Structure 1
Amino acid sequence: MNQHHVCAAVFSAGSWGTAVGKIMADAGTSVIMHARRAEIADAINTTHRNPGYFPDIELPQALTATTDPAAALDGANFLVLSIPAQSLRAGLAAWTPHIGPDTVILSLMKGIEIGSGLRASQVITEVTGIPACRVAVLSGPNLAREIMDGQPAATTIACPDEDAAHRIQKACHTPYFRPYTSTDVTGCELGGAVKNVIALAVGIASGMGMGHNAQAMLITRGLAETTRLATAMGAHPATLSGLAGLGDLVATCSSPLSRNRTFGTHLGQGLSVEQTTAATRQTTEGVKSAGAILALAHAYDVEMPITEVISALLHEKVTLDQAAAALMQRPPKPER
């Protein structure tokens, strides 16, 4: 099949979905975005801009939009999912009848489902009945704003089927966006989910006026606890020191463009969870997933002290000062 006949349906038209839609269109893939709101779909089709997220960036001609899920999925080689992790199950239930028999699903989601503790790829296979070899995940240090500006970035595409991973790689490889492939879906998804919680901790430290030493400590120890959980769940340790692990962690923890870090900064400055949620328009996956990740840690008997403190703070079981003290005062012991 020639590259220009490759089609991708992107659900939905949020910031990261729009960025990946732009990447794929720039790579020669035809992209149809599914927008929930008619005015967003109309604006994308008539002005080639997404007024909700990137009003200043012109989108490629090969990218169009619709509010009709069946129309978006008609003939799609790839279904790219970029919706809040907690809405995935309900969304998929409605869309599954329209997914073609050979469509490969690509998850951009970085959250853990509350209650079930499932990663996005697991929710996808459970709801759709599509085998795991047709479900891939994309994860790396990918801040949407920088990618929309054409800034260079790399990512990891993980799928149990290497051929499917390579087809996705080809469909989103551009001069500014370099995808690597992997078969470690578990490692990629856990790296993406846990780093949001660590970014909240780094944001809190920053908001409280702590310096780069404290932030680097949290990033480093955060990577250690992420790796402990991921390897306990069957991931390869090398994945966590790669783009989907360390790479994504560093970008999310150090950039003011990161919504999780920004959310943490507001908390560190003394705003409540409610006030911060009201101030943040977009989904902050770390806030939603922290409790679910902690439940996984308990299930796999893994120590995750940073996740534990952040979860307690979000559920108002500890004060900000208690949380800060707990993050900084771990009992001294050998590092390894």
Structure 2
Amino acid sequence: MTEKIAVLGAGSWGTALANVLTENGHDVRLWSHNPAQVIEINEQHTNQRYLNEAQLDAKLTAFDDMAQAVDGVDIVLSVVPTKAVREVAGQLAKILIVNKQKVIVAHATKGIEPKTYKRVSQMLSEEIPTENTVAIAVLSGPSHAEDVIKHDLTLVTVASSSMPIAERVQKAFSNHNFRVYTNDDVIGTEMGSALKNIIAIGAGALVSLGYGDNAKAALLTRGLAEISRLGLAFGANPLTFIGLSGVGDLIVTGTSKNSRNWRAGYQLGLGKSLAEVEDEMGMVIEGVSTTKAAKELAAQRHVQMPITDAIYQVLYEGKDIKMAICELMQREATSEID
């Protein structure tokens, strides 16, 4: 079945996903707010700022007019940074209302909204009227855009409260390189995909500070325990955190230089300030704002997240990373399952 799909956001992940869908034979429209980027994608079939020299499918068409991009589509996939979700969803809602159009709304954004602590699906449901939404789905899992665009073997999950919709999105994306599973735990899928960015910052810092495999394994394992505790406090299924959007996403983000959160942590470990790291990165580091949101959510729900607390102190209070690690190691001894 050929789908008409609009992908909102032409960063590395949005472009890679749009390319997967195009290669699968769907009618895909990629929206960007940058006219120069649209011209490059349409004429050169590249997106060099985000995906270097990767060659995109020539059938992939980009637009800088969102109304043109979403006209007549069945599925809208939002792949914009967390801070832009509401603004872009608001624009989409106006178009859908005018068109009297009802679509499946999916997203592949990994973050939590600052101040409100809302998950991305919650933001989308608040901004887009229910009469214009068939259902909301989230695509997540261990998947770097740089590998997906090269057709590396990739496994992800799509979660929705509506399994028929999850299965429809699954079918749209699936091919011999890109395998998609389904899940009905939207909360756990979104929490796992957002919170792992915090741990990835710590993982990058450990490497630049010279720590070895033991330390990295310890951080990822205890980081997963924190992610699970907070997710469970909001009603997530515990099994989700040992799946693709949990431990899978944590492993790939916490061990790869392709992760901007890992790279940010690496630079922080070298002694650079957060402002310097953000300026040099030139792209959104989702884990920074997610760290603050997670710390405050944990306080509200009385959930212990010592690693998150330590990373918060480094990011927002200027604490020395080595001191933060020392204090974590000297915490009162406790049971592993606490």
Taking structure 1 as the reference length, the TM-score comes to: 0.96
1:258 aligns with 259
The offset of 1:208, in angstroms, is 0.9
Measured after TM superposition, the shift of residue 51 of structure 1 is 2.5
Q: CA RMSD in A?
A: 1.3
In the alignment, residue 127 of structure 2 is paired with which amino acid?
Answer: V
Residue 314 of structure 1 corresponds to 315
**Does the 8 Å CA contact 1:202/1:264 hold for their aligned counterparts?**
yes
Deviation track 1:249-286 (CA, whole Å, cap 9, x = no partner) reads: 00000111111011000001111101111111211100
Match of 1:213 in 2: 214
Task: Show the counterpart of 1:109.
Answer: 109
Q: Retained in 1: the 8 A contact 2:196–2:253? A: yes
The alpha carbon displacement at 1:145 in A equals 0.3
- How do 1:189-268 and structure 2 match up within 5 A? 189-268=190-269
- Report the equivalent of 1:275: 276
> Which residue in the other structure is 1:80 paired with?
77
**Cα displacement (A) at 1:119:** 0.4
| Counterpart contact for 1:12–1:81, Cα < 8 Å | yes
Q: Counterparts of 1:204 and 1:252 in 2: how far apart (Å)? A: 13
1:123: which partner in 2? 123
| Aligned partner of 2:26 among 25, 29, 32 | 29
Determine the structure 1 residue equivalent to 2:300: 299
Q: 1:47 aligns with which of 32, 44, 48?
A: 44
In 2, distance between residues paired with 1:153 and 1:36?
Answer: 28
Letter aligned with residue 106 of structure 2: L
- 1:177 and 2:178 aligned: yes
Q: Is this contact kept in 1: 2:295–2:308, CA < 8 A?
A: yes
Distance in 1 separating the partners of 2:172 and 2:153: 17
Give structure 2 stretches of 5+ with no counterpart.
none
Kindly provide the amino acid, as one letter, of the partner of residue 106 in structure 1.
A
Moved more, 206-215 or 125-134: 125-134
Q: CA deviation at 1:300?
A: 1.4
Structure 1 residues 146-198: Cα deviation after superposition (integer angstroms, max 9, x where no partner): 11111001001000000000110111111110000001000000000100000
Look up the match of 1:150: 151
Task: Tell me if the contact between 1:205 and 1:324 (Cα under 8 Å) persists in the aligned partners.
Answer: no
How much has 1:133 moved relative to structure 2? 6.3
Give the TM-score normalised by structure 2. 0.95
Over the matched positions of the two proteins, sequence identity in percent amounts to 36
